[in-house]
Structure 1
Amino acid sequence: MSKRRASTSHANSPPLPPGGGPQLNSFNKDSGDTIKWIKRLDADREDNDGFVFQVTIGSEEYALKVFKFSHPRLHRFYRDLCLKRTLPLKEGLWYTDPFYAECRAYGRIQEGFESRLVTEQIAVKCYGYLLLNRAESRWLEEEGIDLNQWVLDRELREALGGDTRVRAIVKQLEKGPAKIHAGNIRRAWRSVCLLNDSLKLYNMDIKADNFIGHKLVDFGSSWTEPHKLLDYLEEDRENMAKAFRLKDRVNFEDMIEEEEIRTRLQVLAKSEHQLRSKGKPEWAGRELPKRRRIAFK
């Protein structure tokens, strides 16, 4: 049976995220469909931006990633960037929230397929986003799933437009071997290169448990060009942007070393992309201006 497509017609479910750039459509969940929670798939992972479950919706099985709420003021990646002007909280949310980051990433991947920039599966397939109803959210609460609702202060609720429903993304349930190894490392490397070079999409969290086979599965830390926050950076904008663009390559090479994968790919990465100079990324020695904490309106 074929998987249902992301909805393009629900008036109450606009593509997300707001604020421009690539967007993801909502999942076409019929009004009578309920989510049957089968099991949690990521119980062995810590410090995630959400929780992943094997579920049944209607008659189909999926992997459902349920996202924690995130406040821009607490975001570990952007809170110390040097900014040349005050960043509105709403824009900070649009470009730091892991749910919005993953929506934007999958929106760009879909654009890539439609434009034929990519023609192969480089990430686990996504079917759209889903906003959970009260019964579904109540089940998560009863299971002790902490989605960080404590960050939903007045400012954040306003930035969300008053919509504090639990957010999720529906993905294909992959049942094949998940381990990254010498047999699929080159295809994994190709996936990263296609994301970076063809789609201008940077995962920013390359590691072994972010792959299922050669396909990337998690984009909660990703950023997609053009990225609005780069417009707020001070004079080091280009150096900082270049550092971000190299991050996936550096992390991929680190992953090969950490997983002790015997391959010539490590040499290929260093020679073609000059990721390191005596063990450091080529941008690591550049002096950047003193940083100050991010400011929001």
Structure 2
Amino acid sequence: MYPDWPEPGVDLEPLPRVDGPKLGPFDFKGPQRIEFLEYLGSGQHSHVFKVQILGTVYALKLFRFTYIYDWIGPGPRHTELDDIEAVSAFYQYSEPFSAECRAFGRLQESGHEELAIECFGYLLLDEEHERTLMSRFSDLDLEFSGTWSEPGIEERSRYPGESGKDPPIRGIVKEFGQENTVLRVKDAKKALRDIIQLQQLGIVNIDPEQRQIINGKFADFSIAITTPHYMMNPEMNIFLTPEWRSAVEYEAFGHSLRDYLEFDNMIVGWNCELKWTGNKKHKPLSVFAFPNGKGLQIKYDLRKSPDRERAFSYVDPRTYDWRAPRPGKTLSSKPPRWYYEGSDQHLRNLKRCTDFVPGIEWKYRAGLICPDKGSHWFEGIIESV
């Protein structure tokens, strides 16, 4: 499932091993040589380091081996941890390292790397550098199994490779930069514009938060969903009934909508912080995806708006032609809106939410990833399946 230790003299392949975008390996121009300069911090899925490679300073994100049920999608009732085929299928789409490879791979294949912090490829940390890393930061007691909130789970040793050893630590090499500690009007407008354009490239679940804007660009795609994806493209699954296709479309719409809701929550959070701290140096922002940051609870002028009862998101990410990407294709600043045409119950859910919560859990069956029949816990999503 995980990338295994590479054979000497054999080039690394682009990852992940599934249809759709892939990220190539970092070019060391010879043997792997990394100088670890500084520990920058950790998140739920990774540790980040300031490093120097070939005389250039980079940010190196090293991923944890996280518990499968921490990934977006797999349902605990139908995905056994010892079912390697099933877990491997989910790994290619939903595991944080794979998710980030797919998102950066899409940016590269489309020629729109400018929409995120620059990415230079992935690496598999060799044993010598792993020992150096652990020695250099021994005071931190670094843990690569489990998550930030639940460390120590032996996920790394759960799925050894053909070598019989625990798999190598996986990382992605990125441009080194600084977090945006201040949000200005121009920063907010750019971030919203970037979300709209990222979604046009079939990338959603961008997780827009101030902490992940580095050098004015989004930098973290470890929970991103990039087309083609079982959560976004129901045509990938021949077993879906019309009811389930409707449910999958509802969740695909929700993931698109969620990026704008979370953007607005970021702006509201910034404004609240200014108020709580009494900071008068910076001004509150009024740049929202939806009026006043209140989602689809919009009061329309009934004489002017025939769409007053319709739920919409700003982009339908499913329209990206992933089979024939066109590098450098111009992205629209105002693409066609995606109007949701589903059930009245779905519409009511969308109109009152300020954050979308997915309701489908997924299972693996007959070579495909399918919705779990019992996963819709909120009332009225599906009348019968």
Q: TM-score range by the shorter chain?
A: 0.7 to 0.9
Change in CA separation of 1:129 and 1:122 when aligned onto 2, cut-off 3 Å: same
- Which residue matches 2:250? 239
Matches of 1:50 and 1:123, distance apart in 2: 18
- Which residue matches 2:211? 209
Alignment equivalent of 2:108, drawn from 107, 110, 119: 110
Q: What is the CA-CA distance between 1:293 and the residue it aligns to?
A: 5.7
Deviation track 1:19-63 (CA, whole Å, cap 9, x = no partner) reads 1110011000133452111111225xxx42101111001211111
Deviation track 1:179-214 (CA, whole Å, cap 9, x = no partner) reads 4333311111111111012x1111431111010243
Alignment equivalent of 2:72, drawn from 49, 72, 77: 77
- Which residue matches 1:100? 98
Matches of 2:101 and 2:256, distance apart in 1: 19
Equivalent AA in structure 1 for residue 57 of structure 2: E
Matches of 1:100 and 1:159, distance apart in 2: 20
Give yes or no for contact 2:179–2:213 (8 Å, CA) kept in 1: no
Equivalent AA in structure 1 for residue 143 of structure 2: D
Structure 1 unpaired stretches of 5+: 1-9
Q: What is the CA-CA distance between 1:136 and the residue it aligns to?
A: 1.3
- Which residue matches 1:167? 170
* Aligned pairs for 1:170-249 within 5 A: 170-175=173-178, 179-197=182-200, 199-230=201-232, 231=234, 234-235=244-245, 236-249=247-260
User: Which range moves more in the overlay, 218-227 or 168-177?
Assistant: 168-177
Equivalent AA in structure 2 for residue 128 of structure 1: G
Give the TM-score of the pair, scaled to structure 1. 0.78
Matches of 2:287 and 2:77, distance apart in 1: 35
- Does residue 56 (structure 1) correspond to residue 85 (structure 2)? The answer is no
Equivalent AA in structure 2 for residue 59 of structure 1: G
Deviation track 1:147-183 (CA, whole Å, cap 9, x = no partner) reads 11711354x3369997711100001112585543333
- Which residue matches 1:15? 14
Equivalent AA in structure 1 for residue 129 of structure 2: E
Give yes or no for contact 2:50–2:59 (8 Å, CA) kept in 1: yes
Matches of 1:90 and 1:107, distance apart in 2: 20
Matches of 2:114 and 2:156, distance apart in 1: 36
Equivalent AA in structure 2 for residue 77 of structure 1: I
Q: What is the CA-CA distance between 1:251 and the residue it aligns to?
A: 0.4
Structure 2 unpaired stretches of 5+: 1-8, 146-152, 272-282, 300-309, 312-345, 351-357, 366-385
Change in CA separation of 1:276 and 1:82 when aligned onto 2, cut-off 3 Å: farther
Alignment equivalent of 2:265, drawn from 254, 262, 273: 254
Matches of 1:174 and 1:99, distance apart in 2: 20
Change in CA separation of 1:238 and 1:229 when aligned onto 2, cut-off 3 Å: closer
Give yes or no for contact 1:71–1:97 (8 Å, CA) kept in 2: no
- Which residue matches 2:290? 270
SS in 2 for 1:26: coil
Matches of 1:107 and 1:62, distance apart in 2: 18
Change in CA separation of 1:207 and 1:176 when aligned onto 2, cut-off 3 Å: closer
* Alignment: residue pair count: 269
Q: Which has the higher contact order (CA 8 A, sep 6+)?
A: 1
SS in 2 for 1:38: strand
Give yes or no for contact 1:26–1:129 (8 Å, CA) kept in 2: yes
User: Which range moves more in the overlay, 89-98 or 138-147?
Assistant: 138-147
Q: What is the CA-CA distance between 1:11 and the residue it aligns to?
A: 4.4
- Does residue 67 (structure 1) correspond to residue 63 (structure 2)? The answer is yes
Equivalent AA in structure 2 for residue 147 of structure 1: F
Could you tell me the percent identity over the aligned residues?
A: 26
Give the TM-score of the pair, scaled to structure 2. 0.61
- Which residue matches 2:318? none
Equivalent AA in structure 2 for residue 254 of structure 1: N
